[in-house]
Amino acid sequence: MGTALEARGIKSAENLVAEVEGEIEDVDGVLKITKIRLRYRFKIPPGTREKAQRALAVYAEKCPGYQTVKGCIECSWSEDMEEV
């Protein structure tokens, strides 16, 4: 996500925070991580909300972590942007 923001001129260093939750379930007698939820918090310059939303919409296509687990673990993400 940080790279996607940076590509759009929005600083991520010391700005981007991810809160992560997961669910572990018994699947046929084996404990498995079945869901991961990410909530990104970051500040954006005035007038860049659309760019930041676009970054959130497309970053997973190039995210190594997501590309590794997609299809195996249900992942979702949301954002909390503050315009400053």
Give residue limits of the domains in the chain: 2-83
pLDDT at 19: 97
pLDDT at 70: 95
pLDDT at 59: 92
pLDDT digits (tens, 9 = 90+) for 15-55: 999 999 999 999 999 999 999 999 999 999 999 999 999 99
Structure-token pair, residue 3: 């790279």
Q: Which of 42, 40, 21, 36 is nearest to 79 (CA)?
A: 40
The C-alpha angle with vertex 52 and arms to 50 and 55, in degrees rounded to 5, equals: 110
Among positive and negative, which fits the CA dihedral 43, 49, 50, 56?
positive
pLDDT digits (tens, 9 = 90+) for 58-79: 999 999 999 999 999 999 999 9
Instruction: Give phi and psi for 55, each to the nearest 5.
Output: -60, -45
DSSP state of 35: E
Q: What count of Cα atoms within 13 Å lies in the side-chain half-sphere of residue 68?
A: 3
pTM listed for this prediction: 0.85
CATH number of 2-83: 3.30.300.20
